[in-house]
Amino acid sequence: MRDFTLAPEIEELQAAAERLARTELEPNVRDAEAAGRWPDAVLDVLDGFPLGGLDLPEELGGVGAGATAKVVALETLAHADASGLAGADRPGPTVGAVMACPDRDLAAQVAATGLDRSAQAALTVIDPEHGAHELPWGPGLPPLRWIWVSEGDTLRLHEVAGTPTPVQVLAFQASAPVSIAYADTVMRGSWSLGPRTSLDVRSRARLWGAAVAVGIAQAALEETIEYATDRIVFGKPVAHHQGNAFDLAAAAAGVHGARLVVRDAAAAYDREEPDAGFWATQAWLEAMDAAFRATNTGIQLLGGHGFIADHLAEKRFREARMLALSVGGRDCAEADVATFVLDIEDPLTAGRELS
């Protein structure tokens, strides 16, 4: 029967991530964003977890702790600071591509360069009808070397040959964002995967973003409640005006629901459910809505204080939006789940018939 308990080893991991977040990430959020990277001390600890290898199977060099362990770790770290996660977690969002790549030796090689911190990898989604001539952004520290491209049902791997250009992007500045034209890359492989596996490539990346979004949203909610119960307007705390209270309650329910569906999708991957990719993309959509609502409510209730850098509300607002543009963005995710919706059975009603 359904059990919402985390396994003891995942709780231990969560506790370790919380300690790291509290001692190393939280005090350095703005400095890390300005520096364009998380401190080496943090990266050393995360590589020791290893954060990148948590959800990577052992045959590909990971520790095979599973997707649930990974999303819990990501939620916890993102709660403190998400900005450097895209750089610190290798293979991170590209894990689905690594696992789906039919050339196992090449996939293992790519993963290994991430785990040993010698190279960075990115995943991007290209609409087959429009194409693309450059990677808009990817993590650049350690140097970006690999670009996984999901284009329709095709997976490609490009190896960077030129020098990526540092770019300023909306958020995740501590992941040292860089851009590069595909003309400055060499294609190392191209594989036709079929619709289900292609969905998994994108869905594992979305699960990554969804977990990060839940952490950001939870942090936004907590900061907003703290501020809004302290700050007095028109004779009572901001949060005690009913309109504001209702917005906060709705945001909180959204974050709660998003956390449940994200962890549920991760558990589906851990059980090797055939529909896990469908539910992971659904979880991403739910988490993006929740994160936008929580961070937008946060800025709104902090008022002018939400708009200035003294608080983290504006940073989380930017991060939530940027996550929602990743992996092809919302339209791509909606199209992905729509493609499969007619064939996905409800687990409760498998074999049902309508009267």
Q: Which residues bind another protein (CB under 8 A)?
A: 1-5, 225, 228-229, 236, 239-240, 242, 245-246, 248-250, 252-254, 256-258, 260-261, 264, 267-268, 271, 273, 275, 279, 282, 285-286, 334-335, 337-339, 341-342, 344, 346-349, 352-355
Q: Least distance in Å: CB of 51 to another protein? A: 26
Q: Which of residues 42 and 67 has its CB atom nearest to another protein in the complex?
A: 67
Q: Least distance in Å: CB of 270 to another protein? A: 10
Q: Least distance in Å: CB of 355 to another protein? A: 5
Q: Which of residues 185 and 282 has its CB atom nearest to another protein in the complex?
A: 282
Q: Least distance in Å: CB of 353 to another protein? A: 7
**Which own/partner contact pairs does 258-262 have at CB distance under 8 Å and 24+ positions apart?**
258/210, 258/213, 258/214, 258/217, 258/283, 258/286, 258/287, 258/289, 258/290, 258/291, 259/75, 259/214, 259/218, 260/4, 261/286, 261/287, 262/71, 262/75, 262/207, 262/210, 262/211, 262/214, 262/286, 262/287
Q: Least distance in Å: CB of 202 to another protein? A: 15
Q: Which of residues 261 and 313 has its CB atom nearest to another protein in the complex?
A: 261
Q: Which of residues 70 and 318 has its CB atom nearest to another protein in the complex?
A: 70
CB-count exposure of residue 232 (10 Å: 0-12, 13-18, 19+):
exposed
Q: Which of residues 105 and 343 has its CB atom nearest to another protein in the complex?
A: 343
Residue 185, C-beta contacts closer than 8 angstroms, at least 6 positions apart: 147, 158, 159, 160, 161, 162
Q: Least distance in Å: CB of 265 to another protein? A: 9
Buried b (16+ CB within 10 A) or exposed e, 28-59: bbeebbeebbbbeebbebbbebbbbbbbbbee
Q: Which of residues 168 and 355 has its CB atom nearest to another protein in the complex?
A: 355
